[in-house]
Amino acid sequence: MREVAAITFGPDGTGRCLHHDEIRLQSLGRLACRRASRVEFNARRQAWEVTSAATAAVVYRSPSRQRCLDWERRHLSPA
């Protein structure tokens, strides 16, 4: 199954999307990007963690980095 890449725009013109190489964001003009989360390995817990940029809370944890990336796409994608 092919993954769909999408951008949603708010009334103020602000766009939201998960970064995806399928979308050439630079073609829209000058960018200002903010991260919604980050995926990093926690050596103490021996697991990958998705941390919210807004709250600094761990919102998902898995021994699999790919599962964390999949969770991030499902829960943070605007589409």
Is residue 66 over pLDDT 70? Answer: yes
Is residue 4 over pLDDT 70? Answer: no
The pTM score is 0.69
How far is the CA of 55 from the CAs of 42, 52, 63, in angstroms? 18, 6, 22
Q: What is the mean pLDDT of the chain?
A: 85
**pLDDT recorded at residue 46:** 98
Q: Give me the residue spans of the domains in the chain.
A: 8-76
For residues 49 and 46, give the distance between their C-alpha atoms in angstroms, rounded to a whole number. 10
Name the more confident of 10 and 23: 10
Q: Is 12 helix (H, G, I), strand (E, B) or coil?
A: coil
Name the more confident of 46 and 53: 46
What count of other Cβ atoms lies within 10 Å of the Cβ of residue 50? 22
**20-49 average pLDDT score:** 87
**pLDDT recorded at residue 1:** 46
